[in-house]
Amino acid sequence: RQAEASVKEKEEWNTGQGFLKWESCFDCGQDFHGAVLLALAWAGWKTYLGRRETDWFRCSAVGILGNALQQNQRSEEALPILEACLALARRRSHDQTFILMAQANL
């Protein structure tokens, strides 16, 4: 399963967009917003949910979902997701920058 995830990850990066496909339009480069951002954030989270808890894509998808909920005035729903993102960051990384970014989103 890990090999399958690795192949999928390489395929994503070879599209020229990689993970950014969940955040901005490939054609015009404009960042998604509103209901489109929220729908894509949920889709991104569902896409990476089956990966290891420490997987970079999975951790980032959780953060994007939390931020999308906040941007759509759904702060009560965003809070537990952003708290989970911070907990993942603390378990996953010794990189203080990643942890500080997760804290700043709260």
pLDDT digits (tens, 9 = 90+) for 7-55: 565 555 555 456 667 777 877 888 889 999 999 999 989 988 888 887 8
Neighbours of 76 (CB within 10 A): 8
Q: Cα separation of 94 and 68, whole Å?
A: 26
The runs of H, that is alpha helices, within 1-106 are 2-13, 34-48, 56-71, 75-92, 96-105
Which tokens sit at 58? Answer: 């999975």
Q: Which of 79, 51, 50, 52 is nearest to 65 (CA)?
A: 79
Q: How confident is the model at residue 79 (pLDDT cuts 50, 70, 90)?
A: very high
Token pair 């931020």 is at which residue? 67
pTM over 0.75: no
Q: Is the dihedral of CA 99, 46, 29, 36 positive or negative?
A: negative
